Structure 1
Amino acid sequence: MSQISIPSRAPGEVPLDDAVVPFEVAALDVRGRTVRLGPMVDEILSRHAYPTAVSRLLGEAIVLTVLLGSSLKFEGRFILQTQTDGPVRMLVVDWRSPGRVRAYAQFDADAVAALTAPGDGDLLGRGHLAMTIDQGADMNRYQGLVALGGGTLEEAAHEYFLRSEQIPTRVRLAVAEEFSAAAGGAQRRWRAGGLMLQFLPKSEERRRVPDLDPGDAPEGTEPHVVPEDDAWVEGQALVETIEDVELLDPALSTERLLFRLFHEHGVRVFRAVDVEARCSCSRERVQGILESFPVDDRVAMIEDGRISVTCEFCNTRYEFDPTTVIRPDDAEG
């Protein structure tokens, strides 16, 4: 039987921002994807006057959502949302195929300001992380929940794949501000990056994972243990060598990073998926939502002779003359 020859080449040197690059390392039975975000994540975060720590946390949530949403094999939505008792009460990131993203955060400004060098756990507190897959009006939604108990978003992602998908997975997330010289002073821009690696062997035996603790096992019961596959051990070790700067560096191409990690085994890259910041709000949609409210609620929204609505995602402000959303026949109804 003839073998298919896959052409090889040197890694591309041109950095690629706002894109997801899927890859495969066949020798280790691993697949993954990397994401590098520049103008796209800066646009989302710069639309709000978030504290730096909140922007960084929301940036991590955006990277995680892009890594997961870009793996969907259908036209639909992937929504990541946290609800917790911490200073950052809620994060929402909405991915829409083929690569449109919007996001926002709700937080207690005083509680965030009171923290010194806060990490993910300090900001999030305790609650849950929900990941929702929406395939459209004619299909049921799928939702996975992960408890948040003071850990990081990376750790929450690992727990999600362990319990919901039972696929050995490692995720790396990085977010930082880039400072550059510009007329009038230093210019600040947000950058973000991430990598997800999954162990997907063809052999059923090699796909075995330990049984999850049921929570009610008799005292003294030995936990179920499955030795980690050597290939997966090596894959994880390679991912752990990645430094945040490598995921963010605008001068380092994604292909060069993957070559640095996996050149001994050979890495195959696939077509990149572009990502953009785009909100789905519009004046027409906002007006339609207003008209769905009871007329008394619309009247109560009038301030200084106008009705104003601000989109939580993109911070766009819409103003309406009350007569355009409150008509005489509304009062009769």
Structure 2
Amino acid sequence: MQDIESQLGELGFAGDDMVVPFQVDALDVRGRTVQLGPLLDTILSRHDYPEPVARLLAEVVVLTALIGTSLKFEGKFTVQTKSDGAVDLLVADFATPDALRGYARFDAEALEAAVVEGRTEPEQLLGAGILAFTIDQGSYMQPYQGIVQLDGSSLEDIATTYFRQSEQIPTAVRLGVAKLFDRDDNGERRESWRAGGLVAQFLPQEPERMRQPDLPGGDGDDGELSHDVDDAWNEARALVETIDLDEMTDPEVGAERLLYRLFHERGVRVYPAQAVYDRCSCSRDRILGVLKGFTAEEIDESTAEDGKITVTCEFCSTAYEYTPDEVKKA
């Protein structure tokens, strides 16, 4: 751990695809920030998603990296949407210690219609549904799942609601996605995806200071605050809200410089960064284990004209081939 002012004067910034934990003692705030570059570009380019879909999935991947890397045990953290919109499924998961992956499913015709009609805001593409956060500690532990309604809010706001409902910790979330354009060594135009995010949480020593105003209950509830929000958290939240999209995605800014811009007047400390990698958990044996549950009829229906059963991983697009006899003997 070191003071960020000292770190800014040294070499060795965390760089892309590294989650940086931080702490602002004067405001009783702890959090994590990240900029995803090559990792995210690989995940999105692998499926050649349309731009509106890529942007949505990028936000989910960033959110998963920020929360997943906070796990203190061996397990998996998953963020998943299920909805009735043109983009009906977004899923990303983080498997300890450092494996991150993501996938999106969408209706091409519905997406095209939405783009033509100008309905390309995230809440419009997702529609009505749920956002689920799942923590799985393995076969000997019951998974924990927190569910938040997709109510037309941004993913930032929905994630904030999740923390408020499930962990009852005052939390601020910022997410940003950008497509960058440059030229390669031959002068050819190229594009790449980047994204960044920050999660800040108010964790004072006195738990009563964490108390938050009640959520509006509807049915005429005017939503007025029932008590004052802690001044330290008010300040921290206001600072986080000043973050621009460019700051979160610009490789010249980086995680440490962003934190310095936000909290230098209060003093901010950073902890060793944690790398995340584009790693899928699929394998030939795992998929074979799923296929062995097929009936003889299902095996026959899955066998192509070349006599093979081919299964392609939705996440990493790796194709696995099996013979019917291989599956029946499994």
Fold conserved between structures, TM > 0.5: yes
Q: Which residue of 1 aligns with 2:22?
A: 23
> Is the partner of 1:115 in helix, strand or coil?
helix
CA distance in 1: counterparts of 2:70 and 2:194, whole angstroms = 22
> Is the partner of 2:281 in helix, strand or coil?
coil
Among 112, 135, 138, the residue aligned to 1:136: 138
What code does the residue aligned with 2:109 have? D
Describe the superposition over 1:246-280 as per-residue Cα deviations: whole angstroms up to 9, x where unpaired.
11111223111111111101000001111001001
- Verify the 8 A CA contact 1:208 1:226 in the aligned structure 2: no
CA distance in 1: counterparts of 2:113 and 2:154, whole angstroms = 20
Q: Which residue of 1 aligns with 2:300?
A: 299
What code does the residue aligned with 1:168 have? P
Identity among equivalent pairs (%): 52
Describe the shift of the 1:321–1:222 C-alpha distance in structure 2 as closer, same or farther (beyond 3 A).
closer
CA distance in 2: counterparts of 1:35 and 1:220, whole angstroms = 38
> Is the partner of 1:71 in helix, strand or coil?
coil
Describe the superposition over 1:171-220 as per-residue Cα deviations: whole angstroms up to 9, x where unpaired.
0101121211023721111111100111111123312223445678xx78
Describe the superposition over 1:208-249 as per-residue Cα deviations: whole angstroms up to 9, x where unpaired.
223445678xx7899661211111111111111111111111
Q: What is the Cα-based RMSD across aligned positions, in Å?
A: 2.2
1:62 and 2:61 matched: yes
CA distance in 2: counterparts of 1:50 and 1:7, whole angstroms = 37
Residue pairs, 1:230-269, within 5 angstroms:
230-269=231-270
Residue pairs, 1:114-133, within 5 angstroms:
114-116=113-115, 117=118, 118-133=120-135
CA distance in 2: counterparts of 1:119 and 1:198, whole angstroms = 27
> Is the partner of 1:209 in helix, strand or coil?
coil
- Give the alignment's TM-score, normalised by structure 1: 0.90
CA distance in 1: counterparts of 2:4 and 2:285, whole angstroms = 50
1:176 and 2:178 matched: yes
Residue pairs, 1:1-333, within 5 angstroms:
9-11=6-8, 12=10, 14=13, 16-116=15-115, 117=118, 118-182=120-184, 183=186, 185-212=188-215, 225-304=226-305, 305-326=307-328
Which structure 2 residue ranges, 5 or more long, are not aligned?
none
What code does the residue aligned with 1:313 have? F
> Is the partner of 1:92 in helix, strand or coil?
strand
Look at both structures and tell me which one has the larger radius of gyration over its CA atoms. Answer: 1
Describe the shift of the 1:287–1:9 C-alpha distance in structure 2 as closer, same or farther (beyond 3 A).
same
> Is the partner of 2:238 in helix, strand or coil?
helix
> Is the partner of 1:271 in helix, strand or coil?
coil
CA distance in 2: counterparts of 1:175 and 1:94, whole angstroms = 18
Alpha-carbon offset, residue 319 of structure 1: 2.1
Describe the shift of the 1:295–1:58 C-alpha distance in structure 2 as closer, same or farther (beyond 3 A).
same
Alpha-carbon offset, residue 102 of structure 1: 1.4
CA distance in 2: counterparts of 1:232 and 1:220, whole angstroms = 25
Describe the shift of the 1:126–1:267 C-alpha distance in structure 2 as closer, same or farther (beyond 3 A).
same
Which structure 1 residue ranges, 5 or more long, are not aligned?
none
CA distance in 2: counterparts of 1:224 and 1:178, whole angstroms = 41
> Is the partner of 1:98 in helix, strand or coil?
coil
Alpha-carbon offset, residue 153 of structure 1: 0.8
> Is the partner of 2:114 in helix, strand or coil?
coil
Describe the superposition over 1:117-145 as per-residue Cα deviations: whole angstroms up to 9, x where unpaired.
51110111111111011111111111101
> Is the partner of 1:279 in helix, strand or coil?
coil
Describe the shift of the 1:215–1:115 C-alpha distance in structure 2 as closer, same or farther (beyond 3 A).
closer
What code does the residue aligned with 1:159 have? T
- Verify the 8 A CA contact 1:86 1:124 in the aligned structure 2: yes
